[in-house]
Amino acid sequence: MAKDGSPSLFRKWVMRQYWRMQQSQAVVGLLLWGTTITLLVWPYVRWRFESSCADSFCFSDTIFGIPATYLGLLSIFFTVMMSVLLIGYLYDQVFTLWTEWRSVDMERNPYVTYALTPNWMMMTALQAEMLRRQSEGDEAMQAQAEWFLNWCKKYADGEMFARAVQRWDEDLGHTPTFWFTDDEAMQRAREIKFDDDD
């Protein structure tokens, strides 16, 4: 965030590029690990696939007409892949480390702890409005309903809400001014420019 509270455009641009790289990281990383380890191990076992091999555990030059070198490389590669799968199984089923990872992920996610995404904002504001209308005379409930509506109003000034309003305008026509915000906030949401296409 910049000192005035607006999002840092440079940091956001960097994180967008990082996110793009992450999308293929799992597949690319797995293939890179597989090929790297295969090529590192191959010099140590290559002699077993050559015609000069004189030990008891050797392979001929060809197996079913396919050069044994290719089969050796493939067997190492699939052994690495099966090892990765085994580690994944242990991570998931034996140690269940993903539960702690998810816990930390949720703790660090502002849209789970204190911030509002547009869909949650709309549901929260609707429920708070219903609570306010049904609890007339109960000052404590009225105060809580107002607090929720102020929470929604605060996050109606954010980028997520602006994106939603612009998309709603595009898909559904002019988005009305909601009861928990005002015309100025809706106009600000419409005027924000996004640089996602770079």
Whether residue 119 sits in one domain with residue 174: yes
Whether residue 77 sits in one domain with residue 100: yes
Tell whether the model's pLDDT for residue 195 goes beyond 70.
Answer: yes
Picking from 55, 90, 108, the residue at the C-terminal end of a domain is: 108
When divided into structural domains, the chain yields a total of 2
Sign of the alpha-carbon torsion through 53, 57, 63, 67: negative
Residue 49: domain span: 9-108
Question: In whole numbers, what is the pLDDT of the chain averaged over residues?
Answer: 90
Give the number of other Cβ atoms within 10 Å of residue 172's Cβ. 8
Picking from 91, 108, 125, the residue at the C-terminal end of a domain is: 108
| Mean pLDDT, residues 17-27 taken together | 89
Which tens digit of pLDDT belongs to each residue from 104-138?
999 999 999 999 999 999 999 999 999 999 999 99
pLDDT at site 51? 77
DSSP letter string, 29-63: HHHHHHHHHHHHHHHHHGGGGSTT--SSS---SEE
Whether residue 149 sits in one domain with residue 62: no
Residue 198 belongs to a domain:
no
